Structure 1
Amino acid sequence: MALERYFIEEGKIRSEIENFLRRELHRAGYSSMKIQKTPLAVRINIYVEKPQLVIGKKGKRISKLTKIIEEKYNLENLAIDVQRVENPTLDPNIVAKRIATALEKNMNRRKVVYKALRAIMNAGAKGAEIIISGKIVGKGGRARAEKYSQGYMKKAGDSVNLVRIGSTQAYLKAGIIGVTVKIVPPDTVFPDQINVKPKEEVEEEKGEVKEAKEEEEKSNEEESEKSEDAEKS
């Protein structure tokens, strides 16, 4: 039970730190974080869209952030490493936050979602899906969910783990709206993926294989003739 309690407490602390960073760094385009614990120190890797807003002038903000987390969550020798998200348009957490911010500004949800889908697909994604759930219509309306998708998306099996998923909430007068974004990255290769080669390419490969076989047979014949001549002499 002691070991189980330890893992529960660890998970609780990770979740609390995640929520704290999400609140504090939302203007910096917060995406995610990873905690690495060693016997000597604790390292937190933070992934954001705008690292300069996390670091602050002369590193003042990140020093303050480090001190707050150390005291609040009882962590010793804490080191925070801030890394830039290479392509924010392919990061589901950042995209979800952008959509939520637009919804909070009372922008048309369909225009916002379709714009986000186009941006994701133009960035090279193989597929994308955006789900908006809650009291979408307005005050007094029933809660429901709307799903928008483009491209290829896995729904079941182990391949689902290759899909990046991010979610957040938009706080409107009518209530809380949930936003979930799923993205299939450009370099994803699914186990059941089949690539069909053009006929010209197949014919070219067949010709190369045929030439290689003919050369091999020719070299084998030459070697056999040489060995026969050697035996006769």
Structure 2
Amino acid sequence: MSDDQQVITEGQRRPAELIWDYHRMHHELRPVDVAIGLGSHDLGVAARSAELYRAGFFPHLVFTGGTSRTTAKVFPRGEAVHFREHAIDLGVPAAAILLEPNAGNTGQNITLSREVLAAAGIHPTRVLLVSKPYMERRSFATARKLWPDVEILCASAPLEFDDYVKSIGDEKLVLDMLVGDLQRVIEYPKLGFAIEQEVPEDVRAAYESLICEGFTRRLIS
């Protein structure tokens, strides 16, 4: 294991688990008009999207995302393209999938997916966002800001923190992402990018402790 994949300490795991639980919206799954699989480094988003499609929760699925510094080497043809291929391998009909290959951030994931859906004549009233587990809250807050007339639900792989870390294989990356996403939940409403979300004091304290521990690679200036 490299330095970047070093084992986190128990003192770091406790605040990480607190932030992990905060990020998850714990929405009850219901049928929706369409699901949007948000591109990332985590192919589990495509797998979860395929699972929920096969379970009959939605008839249409959009995969959205270009490339980023985190994903360029893993998904060289773009996150959405690779996610679509993986979902097809898992049994989702190609005809059920729409592709949005250009988004570079969560706001663009929402706005460009909305445009792709409209171009296909699909105007949903209830949308399911499928994301990494720790991205649920930020994607929810972003979508509620940019698409306020639609009911937004969130879903992700039903994994506990330790199981998710094992699936990614890089503990430091996951903690950096947890911290970075929480910073965005806090700061983006001030910039008009998302709706405000209450951050409990213990979650904020956990966030500040992990910053002091050096998990800062995903922070914005």
Shorter-chain TM-score category? under 0.3
Instruction: State the structure with more CA Rg.
Output: 1
Instruction: Judging by fraction of residues, say which structure has more strand.
Output: 1
- Higher RCO, 1 or 2 (CA under 8 Å, sep at least 6)? 2
